[in-house]
């Protein structure tokens, strides 16, 4: 079913921040806020929880580490042990650098991949912009507008008070 949104666009981050804060205090459900750069304090203002992506990094990194160590040990000790400079077949210390590199590689790629999944970003995805210029110099607040209530008017008023340039109401599928 379609849903109604209130989109308010701002020229400056300051008013945006205070508007977001006020809206939340007033209990208006904020769908999302759009900005050309990450505005400091907006997370707190919106009450976004800190991302759990670092855990993905840890898991992926450990996977890389384990794989690297196991693989080197297997090839050097079991699959075809050779006398290389009289060194022991299991020259663990010599395996350390590659273990480290693979930890970082898998960890990094895993994190990036997880981010794209979580943020639903993929090549060629059609962008959905609340207002034009949101990637250039416009800040925008998008709030939900429940049908049977006057929250819409409340949101509109708060945004206007904080100096929104223009406000429009839209239909959209969630």
Partner 1 sequence: MNRRPACEEAETAATAIATGSPLVQIGLPTGTRSTGFEASRRDVLSLMGFSLGALGLGSGCRAPVQHAVPLPAASTEMVPGVPNLYATTCGACSASCGLVVKQRDGRPIKIEGNDASPLTRGGTCAAGQASVLSLYDDARLRGPVWLGNPVSWEEIDRHIKTMLNAGSGDPRAVVLLSQTITSPSALAVLNDFRVAFPSFRHVVYDPMSLAALREANRLAHGAAVVPHFRFDRARVVVGLEADFLGTWLAPVEFARQWSRRRTADGERAFHVQCESGMSVTGSNADLRLAIAPSELGPFAVALLAAVARRVSDDGLAGLRGAGLAPDAPHAAAIDRIADALARHRGEALVVTGSNDVATQLVVAKLNALLGGVGKTVDLEQPSLQRQGDDAQVADLIQQMNRGAVRALIVWGANPVYDHPDGVAFTAALKKVPLTISLADRRDETGAHVRALCPDHHFLESWGDAEPVRGQFSLRQPLIAPLHDTRSGVESLLVWAGRPTDHRTRLRDFWQRELHPRALGAGPFEGFWERSLERGVVEMPQPAVAVHAFAGDWQGAVRDIVTRGGRPPTEAYELALQETVGARDGRHANNPWLQELPDPITRLTWGNVACIAPATAAAQGITTGDVVTLTTEVGKLELPAFVQPGQERRTISVAIGYGRWAAGKAGDGVGGNVFPLVRVENGLRRASAPVTLSKTGRRARLAPAQTHFSMEGRDIVQTMALGQDKHEAEHEHEHEALPNLWRERLHGAHAWGMSIDLDACTGCSACVVACQAENNVPVVGAEQVRKSRIMHWMRIDRYLEGDGEDVISHHQPMMCQHCQHAPCETVCPVLATTTSSEGINQQVYNRCIGTRYCANNCPYKVRRFNWHNFTANDDFPFNMTSPLGRLVLNPDVTVRSRGVMEKCNLCVQRIQLAKNQALLQRRPMADGDVATACQQACPTGAIVFGDLADAQSRVSKLLAGRRAYRVLEDLGTRPNVGYLKKITSKETT
Partner 2 sequence: MSAGDIPITTSPAVAPTDLVQPTRWIEGSPSLHRITTDIAQPMEARPGRGWWICFGIASAALLNLLGMVTYLFAKGIGIWGLNNAVGWAFDITNFVFWIGIGHAGTLISAILLLFRQKWRTSINRSAEAMTIFAVMCAGLFPLIHMGRPWDCFFIFPYFPNQRGPLWVNFRSPLVWDVFAISTYFTISLVFWFMGMIPDLATLRDRAVGGIKKFIFRILSMGWNGSQRTWSRYEIVSLVLAALATPLVLSVHSIVSTDFATSLVPGWHTTIFPPYFVAGAIYSGFGMVLTLLLITRVTMNLQRYITFNHLEAMAKVILLTGSLVGYAYATEFFNAWYSGNVHERFHFINRATGPYAWCFYLMVLCNVLTPQVFWWKRARRSIPVLFVASILINVGMWFERFVIIVVGLHRNFLPSAWGMFYPTVFDIGILIGVFGLFFTLFLLFIRALPMIAMWEIKGVSHD
- Kindly identify the residues of this chain, within the stretch 31-70, that bind partner 2 according to CB under 8 A: 32-46, 48, 50-51, 53-54, 57, 61
The nearer residue to partner 1, 80 or 122, going by C-beta atoms, is 80
- For residue 164, give Cα distances in angstroms to 15, 24, 103, 124: 8, 16, 48, 32
Which of 93, 70, 91, 92 lies closest to 82 in space, CA to CA?
91
The nearer residue to partner 2, 90 or 148, going by C-beta atoms, is 90
Residue 82 sits in the site that holds partner 1 (CB under 8 A): yes
> What is Dmax (Cα atoms) for the chain?
83
88 binds, options partner 1, partner 2, none, Cβ within 5 to 8 A by partner type: partner 1
Q: How far, in whole angstroms, is CA 99 from its chain's centroid? A: 29
Of 28, 111, 156, 159, the residue at the interface with partner 2 (CB under 8 A) is: 111
In degrees, rounded to 5, the angle at the alpha carbon of residue 51 between the alpha carbons of residues 50 and 54 is 120
Do 10 and 163 touch, CB atoms closer than 8 A?
Answer: yes
Q: Please report how close the Cβ of residue 155 comes to partner 2 at its closest, in angstroms.
A: 15
Of 80, 125, 126, 147, the residue at the interface with partner 1 (CB under 8 A) is: 80
Of 4, 59, 63, 108, the residue at the interface with partner 2 (CB under 8 A) is: 108
Q: Please report how close the Cβ of residue 91 comes to partner 1 at its closest, in angstroms.
A: 9
What values do phi and psi take at 35, rounded to 5? -150, 150
Q: How many residues bind partner 1 (CB under 8 A)?
A: 9
Of 29, 62, 70, 100, the residue at the interface with partner 2 (CB under 8 A) is: 100
Residue 93 sits in the site that holds partner 1 (CB under 8 A): no
Residue 172 sits in the site that holds partner 2 (CB under 8 A): no
What values do phi and psi take at 147, rounded to 5? -65, -60
Do 169 and 5 touch, CB atoms closer than 8 A?
Answer: yes
Which of 169, 173, 171 lies closest to 141 in space, CA to CA?
169
Which residue ranges make up the site for partner 1 (CB under 8 A)?
80-88
């Amino acid at each position: 079913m379609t849903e109604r949104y209130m989109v308010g666009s701002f020229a400056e981050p300051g008013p945006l921040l205070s508007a977001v804060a006020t809206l939340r205090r007033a209990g208006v459900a904020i769908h999302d806020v759009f900005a050309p750069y990450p505005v400091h304090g907006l997370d707190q203002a919106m009450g976004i929880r800190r991302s759990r992506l670092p855990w993905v990094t840890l898991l992926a990194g450990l996977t890389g580490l384990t794989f690297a160590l196991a693989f080197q040990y297997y090839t050097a000790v079991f699959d075809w042990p050779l006398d290389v400079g009289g060194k022991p077949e299991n020259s663990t210390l010599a395996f350390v650098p590659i273990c480290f590199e693979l930890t970082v590689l898998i960890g990094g790629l895993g994190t990036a991949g997880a981010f794209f999944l979580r943020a639903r970003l993929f090549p060629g995805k059609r962008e959905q912009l609340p207002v034009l210029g949101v990637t250039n110099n416009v800040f925008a607040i998008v709030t939900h507008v429940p049908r049977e209530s006057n929250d819409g008017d409340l949101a509109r008023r708060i945004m206007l008070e904080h100096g929104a340039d223009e406000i429009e109401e839209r239909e959209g599928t969630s």
